[in-house]
Amino acid sequence: MIEFTDDQKKAIAAAQEKFTDLKDKVDSLSDDQLNLLFGEARSMNGWQDKDVSDDTLNQLYSLTKMGPTSTNCCPARFIFIKSDEQKKLIKEALLPNNVDKCMTAPVIAIIGYDLDFSDHMGKLFPHMDVAPMYKGNPDMNLSTAFRNSSLQGAYMMMVARAIGLDCGPMSGFNNDLVDEIFFKDTNIKSNFLCCLGYGDPSKIFMRLPRFEFDEVCKII
Ligand SMILES: Cc1cc2nc3c(=O)[nH]c(=O)nc-3n(C[C@H](O)[C@H](O)[C@H](O)COP(=O)(O)O)c2cc1C
């Protein structure tokens, strides 16, 4: 049983009130909004010549960071490449069919995971000492960092769509080379890349099939 301090108890009551107020106001997105995020949203292969401002990237992170992670561990680390100089560096690591898609994107996000994420648990999960659980168990440390950074990358894509950006996620690249170039002398590893910008609809492919509910879901 966790013993909360008086300040923590106040923070819990305030959070509960805030959440209740929100649910009283809205309980679902509109059909158009759901389509913007999922139903009609597409992965991008080309981009309009339109800049993504640093303010927009800040807004993107400010919501992405609120997505849930286990023990609030927040292991994802993000590099947003905008400069031609840095794009040239990442070009070397891309599979050939990804080069044009990436090089024409206003932003290439590298979603990484910090294997030293547990160094920050005192800030992120202050009411319980969970760091030793990760430090003493490399397999769990890695799976936690990878799982949660993947989730955070997905949250980032959904936030991007929600604020009017488009996404082009990519795993077709040399992770070791990206780590060497962008995460040298750290314990951060690359997970996947995501081009960000305003998509060029003329470069969208046909929609590929998805599984139907009965093919992959069970209600038990
Ligand atoms: C993690 C991840 C990695 C991907 N890697 C690549 C890639 O290397 N190159 C590419 O052209 N598309 C890549 N894609 C795009 C997928 O092929 C695309 O999202 C999928 O076909 C669904 O397309 P849709 O969102 O337009 O329906 C990747 C997508 C994800 C989520």
Q: Do residue 61 and residue 27 come from a single domain?
A: no
User: Whose alpha carbon is nearest atom 22 of ligand 1?
Assistant: 43
Q: What is the pTM of this model?
A: 0.96
214 located within any domain: no
Position 57: which residue type? L
Instruction: Give the model's pLDDT for residue 13.
Output: 96
Residue 32 lies in a domain: yes
Q: Are residues 10 and 34 in the same domain?
A: yes
Look at residue 48 and tell me if it is in a domain: yes
CATH at 94: 3.40.109.10
The count of domains in the chain is: 2
Output the pLDDT for position 188: 98
Q: What is the three-state SS of the chain?
A: CCCCCHHHHHHHHHHHHHHHHHHHHCCCCCHHHHHHHHHCCCECCCECCCCCCHHHHHHHHHHHCCCCCHHHCCCEEEEEECCHHHHHHHHCCECHHHHHHHHCCCEEEEEEEECCHHHHHHHHCCCCCCHHHHHCCHHHHHHHHHHHHHHHHHHHHHHHHHCCCEEEEECCECHHHHHHHHCCCCCEEEEEEEEEECECHHHCCCCCCCCCHHHHCCCC
Does residue 115's CB lie within 6 angstroms of at least one atom of ligand 1? no
The pLDDT assigned to 209 comes to 98
On whether residue 102 sits in a domain, the answer given is yes
Claim to verify: residue 107 and residue 179 sit in the same structural domain: yes
Model pLDDT, residue 177:
98
Is 217 part of any domain? no
Q: For residue 182, is it within any domain?
A: yes
Cβ(206) – ligand 1 distance below 6 Å? no
Tell me, yes or no, whether 173 and 66 share the same domain.
Answer: yes
Contact 156, 78 (CB under 8 A): yes
User: Ligand 1 centroid to 101 CA: how many Å?
Assistant: 12
Per-residue pLDDT, 51: 97
88/142 same-domain check: yes
The single-letter code of the amino acid at 129 is D
pLDDT tens for the 220 residues of the chain, in order: 788 999 999 999 999 999 999 999 999 999 999 999 999 999 999 999 999 999 999 999 999 999 999 999 999 999 999 999 999 999 999 999 999 999 999 999 999 999 999 999 999 999 999 999 999 899 999 999 999 999 999 999 999 999 999 999 999 999 999 999 999 999 999 999 999 999 999 999 999 999 999 999 999 9
8 A C-beta contact, residue 45 and residue 204: yes
Answer yes or no: do 5 and 51 share one domain: no
Q: Best of 42, 90, 151, 171 to mutate for ligand 1, by most ligand atoms within 8 A of CB?
A: 171
In a domain, 178, yes or no: yes
- The answer to whether residue 187 is domain-embedded is yes
| Same domain, residue pair 129 and 182 | yes
For residue 121, give both structure tokens.
């648990």
pLDDT of res. 108: 98
Q: Which long-range contacts (CB under 8 A, 24 or more apart) does 115-122 make?
A: 115/75, 115/141, 115/142, 115/145, 115/187, 115/188, 115/189, 116/187, 117/73, 117/74, 117/75, 117/144, 117/145, 118/73, 120/73, 120/74, 121/71, 121/73
- 60 & 121 share domain: yes
CA gap 169, 190 in Å, rounded: 13
Give residue 35's domain range.
1-40
Same domain, 50 and 29: no
pLDDT of residue 3: 87
172 lines ligand 1 (CB under 6 A): yes
- Asked if residue 155 and residue 114 are part of one domain, the reply reads yes
Tell me, in angstroms, the distance from the centre of ligand 1 to residue 100's CA: 15
Cα–Cα dist 211/192, whole Å? 24
> Residue 167 Cα, ligand 1 centroid: separation in angstroms?
10
In the structure encoding, which two tokens stand for residue 173, read together? 């690249």
